[in-house]
Amino acid sequence: MKPHGLPAYERIKSKKDFENIFKSGNILYSSDDKLKAIFIYNKNSKECGIKIATAVFKKSGSAFWRNRVKRLIKVSYRLNKQILIETCLGKNILLKVVFSLNAINQNNTRIIKLNDIHSAVTDIISKMNNTLYTLTLINTNNPFYNYLIRSHVNKYFIASNFRFYKLVIRKRKIDG
C-alpha cells in the first residue's frame, strides 16, 4: 500500500453508511468555515481505521468545479491522514468521515487551488484527532456522557470538554 494512497477499503461506498453518518454524525467546521466534516466512530469494532467520502452538493457549482473540489479534498486528506490513522489504530476505533463544503461555492471562489482547501482539511483533521482523544478518555457508562456528546462535540468544545465533565461530577457530589 502506498503511504499517501486512498485504497478502496478506506472509502465509504454504501448508502446505508451515508444515511447513518448524516443522521447521527458529529459535525466539525474548519476555522475559516470553508469545509465541514461529519463523522461517527465505533469503539472496539472488529475493524479499525478510517473510511472517508466527499460530498459536494449540486448547487455549489458546475460538475467540473465540484469534481475538482472533491479531488483537492482527497489529496489534502491523503497527505495528512497519518495523524488520524495512528489515533484510530491505537484506540481500536473505526472512524467514518464525510468531508463537505460549507462556505465556498463556484460563485464566490471561481478558481480553487490546493492551498485553499489544504489548510481547512488539516484544521479539521487536527480537531477530529483531539475530539477522538477526548471522547475516548470519558467513561461511556456515566449518565452525563450522552449529554456531553450532544451538547458540546458539534461546537468543537474539546479543550474544556474533559474539565466540564469533571465539573459536572463535582457539582453532583456537592448537591447530593
Give 48-72 pLDDT, tens digit per residue: 899 999 999 999 999 999 999 999 9
Judge whether residue 137 has pLDDT over 80. Answer: no
Amino acid making up residue 41:
Y
Neighbour order of strands in the sheet with 49-55: 26-29, 35-43, 93-101, 49-55
pLDDT at 89: 87
Residue type for 132, please? L
Strand locations in the chain (E)? 26-29, 35-43, 49-55, 93-101
The chain-wide mean pLDDT, for the chain, equals 81
Is the pLDDT assigned to residue 76 strictly greater than 60? Answer: yes
Maximal CA-CA distance, the chain: 61
Task: With a cut of 70, say whether residue 24 has pLDDT above it.
Answer: yes
Cell numbers found for residue 35: 469545509
What residue spans define the domains of the chain? 8-137, 139-176
Cβ atoms within 10 Å, residue 72? 19
Whether the CB-CB separation of 22 and 62 falls below 8 Å is answered with: no
- The rounded Cα 139 to chain-centroid distance in angstroms is 21
Domain 8-137, CATH: 3.30.230.10
pLDDT at 145 > cutoff 90: no
Confidence of residue 1 (pLDDT cuts 50, 70, 90): low
Mean pLDDT, residues 27-39: 94
Give the model's pLDDT for residue 140: 54
C-alpha cell at 4: 499517501
Count other C-beta atoms under 10 Å from residue 126's C-beta.
Answer: 15
pLDDT digits (tens, 9 = 90+) for 85-106: 988 888 888 999 999 999 999 9
pLDDT band at 163 (very low <50, low <70, confident <90, very high): very low
Task: Assign 146 a pLDDT band (cuts: 50, 70, 90).
Answer: low
Q: Is the pLDDT of residue 109 over 50?
A: yes
Three-state DSSP at 98 gives strand
Q: For the chain, give the number of residues.
A: 176
What would the mean pLDDT of 115-140 be, rounded to a whole number? 84
